Amino acid sequence: MNKLPVFLSILPFAIFIFIFLFKKVSLLKSSIVILALYTIESIFYWKIFPSFLYTSYGKGFFVALDIFIIIFGAIFFLEILKDLKIIKNISHYLGTISKDYRIQVIIIAWFFECFIEGTAGFGTPAAIAVPILIGLGLSPIKSLIVGLLGNSVPGVFGAAGTPIKIGFTGLNTTGVPLISSLLNCVGFIVPVFMLWVITSDRINRKKEFLDALPFAVWSGLAFVIPSVLIVFLGQEFPSILGSIIGLGIIIFSVKIGFLVPKEKISLLTEEEKKEASLSPFKAFLPYILLIVLLISGKLFLSKIGIPISLGFNYTFNLFNPGFMFIISGLLVILIWKEKFGIIVSSIKRSLNGAIHPFFVVFFMSVMVQLMINSGQNQTGILSAISVITRIFETSWLPFFTPFIGAFGAFMTGSVTISNIMFGHLFSIASTNLSLNTSIILSLGVVGAAVGNMIALGDILTAEAVTGLKNSELKVLKGVIVPCLIYLLILGLIGILFLS
């Protein structure tokens, strides 16, 4: 095989990794560089037909537009909840389920984060949960580590199913949600990792860890098992409803004393505890509205699309979770009888928060489209995607796929973007190797979700809300071992089922 196509196909990725990881160039600028290089190569080396160059940019734009609407809506909804102190009240009620700090941490960093990841995604769970964890008495570093651990497993179905729905655009994802939910069951060990971290420097570390270990395992199962049972409703719901059902199970378990530590240990004094200003029903009402709208939208709008023909064909689906977020936020303002000025400020913050991810997804999506369409050329050279895929064509692909997905999330801070980057590679390589494509794609998306534990963007975001600076190395040391253990288990499962 000619080495030049291989070199040119890999070169933009190599430069991306170098400037992003070692030169500390921002993700946005790094994605511009990789797209520019692939565009230049497509034009001057592959000599792609102009119509396919145009199609690549057009489809990339509409994929990014879908993401933009979701992120804008999610931020809009969360900003309103923050302004109305609803998030603080929710965290208060979650923290009062038990007086034991181990149970409190798992409820906040596991169930609450799973729910936030399921509804909003894109780094918001850790950013919201970490300050709450600090408020429970954890140190900022421990709070960061635990918050990142919780921002992993639900990422498979994060932001109402975006990683699979948008990340694998153009691929056959039949069976991927179900298989991913089954692989995600490995995630029951994450609360155990959390427990290990929060008890690590305690005087009675071993006793405090072992006493709460059954509860941590039970909490893990209480989320992952309902998620599997919920997946038939659609990829939008496993993380959202799985966390709600799991939290209900755990609240009942705490009330009857099932698997909870006998000795209740608090990290706060009575004076440090704060009271809620809203009733439980009013505090949780916004999320009740959101869930109702998401389910209604899935039932009545999911099959309705607007066909777009602009020299290429694209169908814009009316069921975009972002619209449901926006409607929920507006309903909250009406119910709370707030002044509509809050809408303007929320829109401004939402635009500021969504525009950066929009451009990153746009550049990455166009890059992937160019890699696919570069085979439509005047030279007869195989497409860049086909050339790179041959490198992945090894019997060890099932083992390495989760690690590749995690690497994508580590670089970009997004399961969705990781899937955009590597999804087509996984699909073509698995087809050429006669492996089950759905299983390979599922290993990739679950691996990418695990990679959220070490995502640089999420670490920086969580650091920003805590006021910590230059703590990346300490945080990475705290999450890297759980991340590698999880990925190793997934890789072995992949080899076991596809060997």
What tens digit of pLDDT does each residue of 222-241 get?
999 999 999 888 888 888 88
Give pLDDT, residue 301. 80
Give pLDDT, residue 416. 84
Per-residue pLDDT band for 187 (boundaries 50, 70, 90) equals very high
CB atoms within 10 A of CB 425: 22
Per-residue pLDDT band for 428 (boundaries 50, 70, 90) equals confident
Q: Which of 395, 385, 369, 489 is nearest to 427 (CA)?
A: 385
Residue predicted with more confidence, 485 or 386? 485
Q: Say whether pLDDT at 123 is over 70.
A: no
pTM summary value: 0.76
CA distance 452 to 491: 17
Digit-coded pLDDT (tens) for 81-102: 888 888 778 777 876 788 888 9
Per-residue pLDDT band for 67 (boundaries 50, 70, 90) equals confident
Q: Say whether pLDDT at 21 is over 60.
A: yes
Per-residue pLDDT band for 469 (boundaries 50, 70, 90) equals low
Per-residue pLDDT band for 407 (boundaries 50, 70, 90) equals confident
Task: Pick the range with the lowest mean pLDDT from 36-50, 304-318, 394-408, 468-482.
Answer: 468-482
Per-residue pLDDT band for 178 (boundaries 50, 70, 90) equals very high
Q: Say whether pLDDT at 18 is over 80.
A: yes
Task: Pick the range with the lowest mean pLDDT from 72-81, 123-132, 187-196.
Answer: 123-132
Q: Among the ranges 155-164, 175-184, 260-269, 472-481, which has the highest mean pLDDT value? A: 175-184
